[in-house]
Amino acid sequence: MGGWDRDRSPGPGSTVPAMRITWRLLLGFLAVSVLALLAALASPSWPRERGADDGSDGGSDAGARAGAPATVRGAAPCTLHATTPREAARRARPGDTVCFDGDLSRRRLVITRGGSREHPIIYAGGGDAVDGITIEADDVIVEGFRSVRPEAPGIELTGHRVTVRNNTVIGPRGGDGDGIRFFGDDLTIAHNTVRGTDNSHGRHADCMQTFAGDTPPSHRVRIEDNRCEQVDNMCLMAEGPNDGEGDGRGTTSDFTIRGNHCETLRASQALMFEDVQNATITGNVFAAPTDHAIGLAYHSTGARVDGNTRHSGIRYEVGIDDSSRAGYRGPEPGGLP
């Protein structure tokens, strides 16, 4: 007797084989369904918000993913998507996290809309390229943008309660060649990288600079955990209003310079303070052989210096003039600033 013929209805003796095949099909269908459900749970189909924590660093070129912007560690999810800075200025509200969907790589990002003391507006780059950044607003956080050969300064900020973090500026050109310039009160400049400033054509191309001429003096400024790499001039040039070149109005004071990496290639010192009171300079690495690491001049009183690491080729850590000795705490100065 032959087996069951699939082209004919089963005969009287084929009831059991038919039931076996039915159960096998049912079990197979259930197994495939379970596997499909597990795969769907493991790989959600909804889009991830830009800024979710995937372990990338928006402050470096390595953070850029092929086909999508890099994310910034710890950044809030986007609450507003804008195509241009002008659209963001029109639509953003306190507490928003603004992400840009348009291509800004050939234009300067100009930020004019601020939030409130309690609810700043976050402008999140997620690794996006821009042709430099200008901030003219209070209560903003600007993070995760890349600028390669922007018009100098690569980032310029004027305002109060402004945070600039996790940004990269490479090879700023034109102007005086600076990477970052800042003016205002309660500022934080943290975890940024500035690389390749150029002193040619008479520039004084600092990693960071502030002054008080036609711009406001600055107070309560935190400069922490930044990297100034291959910088022709100084890592920081800070000038108050009474240094002989300022407007003589007000004071510049209360800077904290902590945990920065400083590679100065051509200047005599890495950090220079003129008419800046109450600077705290601690835990920095001075990685290139300048004459001295820190200069204090023109009544830069009340400075505290400790815990810094300096290149073996640096002759002494602190240079100071007589007008700046009041309230100084730190290693014995080795000479003039």
Q: Within a domain: residue 108?
A: yes
Question: Are residues 285 and 309 in contact, defined by beta-carbon separation less than 8 angstroms?
Answer: yes
Tens of pLDDT, residues 212-262: 988 989 999 999 999 999 999 999 999 999 998 888 899 999 999 999 999
Q: Which two tokens stand for residue 198?
A: 């150029």
For residue 89, tell me if it sits in a domain. Answer: yes
Name the more confident of 35 and 275: 275
The number of domains in the chain is 2
20 and 92 both lie in a single domain: no
**38 and 84 share a domain?**
no
Residue 51 lies in a domain: no
Residue 32 CB contacts under 8 Å (≥ 6 apart), including other chains: none
Q: Are residues 135 and 37 in the same domain?
A: no
Structural domain boundaries, residue 33: 12-42
- Say if residue 107 is in the same domain as residue 230: yes
102 shares a domain with 29: no
β 80-82/97-100 pair status? parallel
**222 and 255 share one domain:** yes
Top-confidence residue, 158 or 74: 158
Backbone angles phi, psi at 24, to 5 degrees: -65, -45
Q: 172 and 26, same structural domain?
A: no
Residue 55 lies in a domain: no
pLDDT band at 31; cut points 50, 70, 90: low
Distance (Å, rounded) from C-alpha 110 to C-alpha 211? 21
Q: What is the pLDDT of residue 76?
A: 75
Examine residue 1 and state whether it is found in any structural domain, yes or no: no
How much is the mean pLDDT over the chain?
85
**38 lies in the same domain as 66:** no
Would you state the pLDDT for residue 275? 98
Least confident of 157-161, 197-201, 245-249: 245-249
276 and 223 in a common domain: yes
Residues 31 and 65 in one domain: no
Q: What is the rounded distance in angstroms from the CA atom of residue 302 to the CA atom of residue 245? A: 21
In a domain, 47, yes or no: no
Residues 6+ apart with CB under 8 A from 95: 79, 115, 116, 119, 120, 121
Residue 36: predicted pLDDT: 54
> Does 25 share its domain with 155?
no
Residue 313 lies in a domain: yes
